[in-house]
Every structure is written in structure tokens, then in C-alpha cells.
Homo-oligomer: A and B are copies of this chain.
Amino acid sequence: MSAYSNMTPAQVRGKIRNQEITGNTSGMCSGYAQANLVILPKNQAYDFLLFAQRNPFSCPLLEVSDTGSRELRYIAKNADIATDLPKYRVYKNGCLAEERLSVEDLWQDDFVSFLIGCSFSFEAELLEAGIPVRHIEEGRNVPMFNTNIPCAPGGIFHGNMVVSMRPMTPAEAIRAAAITAQMPRVHGAPVHFGNPEQIGIRDIASPDYGDSVTVREGEIPVFWPCGVTPQAALMAAKPAFAITHAPGHMFIADIKNTSLKN
């Protein structure tokens, strides 16, 4: 249990802003939604918004900022997008250029911030329903894989879906599918379960991102659309400049996970 699990999002964002907290946000502010971040200059923002509209399960938008604004209107009050995530990644021409604790110095008047729903939100619901989540049990990052499932292209953005994987018994998978189907703003129902090769995954023990986890006898891998998909599309499109959160270093919103249920 994180020392920050019972603090409010505003309190934790304050500590992140002061750089008292610079690590990953897993387990912080129990019950509150966390979000992936993509920041793009306005001239790429239309294409990204179109990509998100066409791929709502891998790229579910919780909020799109006003152009140039470091504040949000809907999912958090008094937040500063340029300072309130513990770690950022700066991409130039699709390549990781640096990691930073703040992007205040880089801020431009034409930046648009996209806050994207995160599977942390549905994992809380799965645990609540008594469905085990293996990577949490094993203290690891969720395993994520590139697939052969094409995203719908949107302007310059294109690529295949990235999925996260959680091993479960078939009975648990059926319940997990029903629960997550009710949460379309945080990736929704699984896209696949069972044979990984059917979606282009060769080795379930070697994830493309995150850590591998134990798949026990009698369990099947269950695959959900993943918030890394928009980052993969970003790297494929190679815009001149983009900022994202560093993996696991998310934005903590003022809205509850339960508000993301249908």
C-alpha cells in the first residue's frame, strides 16, 4: 500500500509539483482515476483527436485541454499539466529525446494536452469484484504487447493496437469482460483471449513493454486495448515534437474510478 494511497489527488499533485514525489503513481490516491498524457502542438492536435475518435477503446479521451492552457476544466481543478506529473518524456521526430520532472520550461502557447483513460481504473474494479490481477500480486508492471490488430488511421497517426495482458481462469475472464465492458472510457471489454498468436503475439513470456507475469495452469491470457497504443502511433507518425508521461508516472485526476462506469 502506497504511503500516498489515502491522500487526495490535490495533495499528491502538490507534492509532485514540489518534486517531493518523483516516482511512479501506482497505488496513490486510492479510488481516483489516473490518466495517460500526450501533449502535441495544435498543428498535430486535429489528427490526434481524429485518431482518438476512431480508436476509442485504445485511446479513450478523458479530457482535451484548451489550446495553450496548462489547466484542465473537467477532470481536475487547479492542476498544472506542466508540473503535476512526476516524470515526462520528450519526443523529437518520434524518438525519445529526454526525460524530465517538469515541462514548464518547454511550454508553448500552442500546446494541446490529451488526458487518456488508464487501465489502473478498471483494475480497481476487478479487485473490488474479487478477480485477482496477477501483476499487482507479483508487484510488477502489467505486461504489454504489440499486436497485428490495425488501428483506424487518423491523419498522420497510424499503427497497430498495443494490448495489456492479465492471466485468469475462463470463469474469471467472463466476469472481467462483463465488468470492463461497462467502462468504455478506460479501455472497455477485452479485445481477445486465449491463443496469443491469433493477434500476432509470438511469446507470451516476452512482453514488448512492462514485465512478464506467471500464467498458471488452467489460466488463459486475456488482452485489453492499452493506453500505450497512442504512444506507439506517436512514434510511428514522428511529429517534430511531443510530450508524454513516463510509463507509470501518471496524472492523478479528481474524478473517481466509479464515475467512469456506464
- Residues of chain A touching chain B, judged by Cβ–Cβ distance below 8 Å, are 42, 45-46, 49-50, 52-54, 61, 64, 67, 73-74, 152, 155, 181-182, 184, 262
Contact = CB atoms under 8 A, between A and B. Distances in A.
Contact of A64 (B50, B67, B74, B181): B50
A77 to B, nearest CB: 15
A46 B46 CA distance: 5
5 contacts: A49-B50, A49-B53, A53-B61, A181-B262, A262-B262
Contacts of A73: 152
Nearest to A50: B64
B46 A53 contact: no
A73 B61 CA distance: 22
A50 B155 CA distance: 16
A67 B47 CA distance: 10
Contacts of A74: 54, 152
Contacts of A53: 49, 52-53, 61, 64
A83 to B, nearest CB: 24
Contact of A49 (B46, B67, B181, B262): B46
Nearest to A52: B53
A64 B55 CA distance: 12
Closest 3 CB pairs of A and B: A46-B46, A49-B49, A53-B64
Which of A46, A54, A155, A181 has the most chain B CB within a 10 Å cutoff? A46
